[in-house]
């Protein structure tokens, strides 16, 4: 896409008008998810995950902006993507590093 692409320009204008709120919702959704867990985490993990929720929220916004689907479905996609942001980013990082997630575990039980 070029800088003069009308779809990209329209998406950027809509993002400036109010789409940036999606990043706040993505971060707030991740923060709410962290608050609901019983797992203790350092503050840096909280910050990283909140930022991840914001980034994924913005990426999801641009992904569904031009799609011809109902607004409620767009909202659901944006909500779910913000909620699962850390898992999405970890998946992409592992794939980028070439790691295989389907590695079989060795059993601890000995054969007879």
| Residue 65 in tokens | 């902006």
Residue 85 lies in a domain: yes
Residue 38 has which token pair? 């019983």
1 in any annotated domain: no
What average pLDDT score do residues 70-94 get?
81
CB distance 27 to 55 below 8 Å: no
- Provide the percentage of residues in the chain whose pLDDT is more than 70: 82
Q: What's the domain range around 63?
A: 17-97
Nearby residues of 108 by Cβ (< 8 Å), 6 or more positions away: none
Q: Cα-atom radius of gyration of the chain, to the nearest Å?
A: 18
11 occurs within a structural domain:
no
Tell me: pLDDT of 107 over 60. Answer: no
Question: Domains in the chain: how many in total?
Answer: 1
* Average pLDDT of span 22-44: 81
Q: Is residue 72 situated within a structural domain?
A: yes
Task: Give a yes or no: residue 10 inside a domain.
Answer: no
Question: What's the confidence (pLDDT) of residue 46?
Answer: 85
């Amino acid at each position: 896409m070029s800088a003069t692409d009308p779809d990209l320009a329209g998406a950027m204008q809509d993002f400036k008008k109010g789409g940036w709120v999606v990043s706040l919702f993505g971060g707030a959704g991740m923060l709410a998810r962290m608050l609901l867990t019983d797992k203790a985490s350092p503050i840096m993990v909280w910050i990283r995950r909140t930022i991840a929720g914001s980034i994924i929220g913005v990426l999801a916004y641009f992904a569904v902006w031009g799609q011809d689907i109902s607004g409620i479905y767009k909202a659901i996609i944006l909500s779910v993507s913000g909620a699962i942001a850390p898992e999405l980013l970890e998946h992409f990082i592992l794939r980028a590093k070439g790691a295989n997630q389907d590695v079989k575990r060795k059993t601890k039980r000995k054969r007879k």
